[in-house]
């Protein structure tokens, strides 16, 4: 009888812990011009930090196909069209050095913003938040003030460091920017700030 009670207790604790585990989506833009560098120094670094903090991480791209460049590869867990926003407690979008963002990603981010869950975006992905209308009446970080651009209308530039405004976190520095001596890489800082916000919600 004692063994049965012990097993029930352990099972209950396991279920409870599973239910309390936070889940986030790491959205990767696969058309990066510096894919190997940005996967290794940004996307995979973010994923590692999130997992080590006890957060469950799923990765998604538009195609859902394996990314491979040089010695680095990543197989996404999901195709973006199969992602259910309600399944996640937050969304993090690395820079990945992408100039033009696919409409499918913009549409997804709009829906993610409407969910009022934590969202973190770094450098090129700050533009994505702007295109999705997420920065109106918000402070944001980037390498320079973009407030004159139509997508940033109503937003407030707050420097190139780390900026939190409500449930949105932005950063103006990424690995490639630091490599090119254009500012400090903020990957660790934005990921930790995102972890703290997800766990607090």
What's the pLDDT tens digit per position in 66-96?
A: 999 999 999 999 999 999 999 999 999 999 9
Residue 139 Cα to chain centre, angstroms: 18
Q: What's the burial of 120, exposed, middle or buried (CB within 10 Å: 0-12/13-18/19+)?
A: buried
The DSSP result for 109-170, as a single string, is HHHHHHTT--EEEETHHHHHHHHTTTTTT-EE--SS--TTSGGGTT-EE--SSEEEETTEEE
Mean pLDDT confidence for 106-120: 96
pLDDT tens string 150-196: 999 999 999 999 999 999 999 999 999 999 988 899 999 999 999 99
* pLDDT band at residue 1 using 50, 70 and 90 as cut-offs: low
The per-residue pLDDT for 3 is: 56
- Among the listed residues 43, 167, 194, 174, the one whose alpha carbon sits nearest the alpha carbon of residue 112: 167
The per-residue pLDDT for 7 is: 42
Contact (Cβ atoms closer than 8 angstroms) between residue 98 and residue 124? yes
What whole-number percentage of the chain has pLDDT above 90? 83
Mean pLDDT confidence for 42-46: 97
115 phi/psi in degrees, rounded to 5: -75, -10
The per-residue pLDDT for 163 is: 98
* pLDDT band at residue 58 using 50, 70 and 90 as cut-offs: very high
Q: Which residue has the tokens 């690395």?
A: 94
Question: Cα–Cα distance between 61 and 78 in angstroms, integer?
Answer: 7
Question: Cα–Cα distance between 169 and 165 in angstroms, integer?
Answer: 6
Half-sphere exposure of 82 (CA within 13 A, CB side): 10
Mean pLDDT of the chain: 90
The tokens for 130 are 């702007």
9: pLDDT strictly greater than 50: no
59 phi/psi in degrees, rounded to 5: -110, 145
Fold of 22-200: Rossmann fold (3.40.50)
The per-residue pLDDT for 20 is: 82
């Amino acid at each position: 009888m004692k063994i049965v009670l012990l097993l029930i207790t352990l099972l209950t604790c396991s279920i409870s812990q599973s239910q309390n585990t936070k889940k986030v989506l790491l959205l990767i833009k696969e058309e990066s011009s510096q894919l190997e560098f940005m996967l290794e120094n940004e996307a995979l670094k973010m994923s590692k930090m999130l997992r080590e903090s006890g957060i469950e991480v799923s990765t998604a791209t538009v195609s859902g196909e394996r990314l491979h460049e040089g010695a680095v590869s990543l197989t996404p867990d999901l195709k973006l069209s199969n992602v259910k926003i309600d399944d996640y407690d937050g969304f993090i979008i690395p820079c990945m050095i992408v100039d033009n963002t696919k409409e499918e990603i913009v549409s997804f981010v709009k829906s993610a913003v409407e969910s009022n869950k934590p969202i973190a975006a770094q450098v090129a992905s700050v533009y994505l938040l702007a295109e999705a209308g997420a920065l109106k009446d918000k402070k944001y970080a980037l390498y320079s003030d973009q407030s004159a651009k139509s997508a940033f209308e109503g937003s407030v530039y707050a420097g190139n460091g780390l900026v939190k405004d409500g449930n949105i976190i932005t950063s103006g520095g990424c690995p490639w920017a630091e490599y090119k001596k254009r500012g400090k890489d903020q990957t660790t800082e934005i990921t930790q700030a995102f972890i703290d916000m997800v766990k607090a919600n």
